């Protein structure tokens, strides 16, 4: 009985750890972020892992990048500008950025 409960606890813990990452990937897909970005390779824009590496340790990165997600930006990653994403709310932008910055 203890083995069964222990197995259930491990499965549940694993699901709880992976669910937010999948949910945030789902949000990124729903908000069309994945049309220009990928987790681990450059498309039109930089990979999310490259973004995470560039902004690692910067305390203001979530707020700064959330604004870029919503309003767009240019010049940081090359000549192609990032368009504004008016369909993304401030809370969604912060959630997306926090997820991106968590990638390694």
- Domain extent listing, the chain: 2-102
How far lies 46's CA from each of 54, 80, 91, in Å? 11, 10, 22
- Torsion over CA of 92, 103, 18 and 44, rounded to 10 degrees? 60
The pLDDT of residue 23 is 72
Q: The pTM is what?
A: 0.78
- Tokens read off for 29: 């897909």
Fold of 2-102: Cytochrome Bc1 Complex; Chain D, domain 2 (1.10.760)
102 or 4: whose pLDDT is higher?
Answer: 102
The mean per-residue pLDDT over the stretch 7-21 comes to 46
The mean per-residue pLDDT over the stretch 10-28 comes to 61
């Amino acid at each position: 009985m203890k083995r069964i409960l222990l197995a259930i606890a491990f499965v549940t813990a694993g699901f709880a750890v992976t669910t937010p990452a999948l949910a945030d990937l789902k949000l990124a897909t729903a908000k069309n972020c994945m049309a220009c970005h990928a987790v681990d390779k450059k498309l039109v824009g930089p990979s999310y892992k490259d973004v995470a590496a560039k902004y690692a340790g910067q305390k203001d990165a979530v707020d700064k990048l959330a604004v870029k997600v919503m309003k767009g930006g240019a010049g940081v990653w090359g000549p192609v500008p990032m368009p504004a994403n008016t369909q993304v709310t401030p809370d969604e932008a912060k959630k997306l950025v926090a997820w991106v910055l968590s990638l390694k």
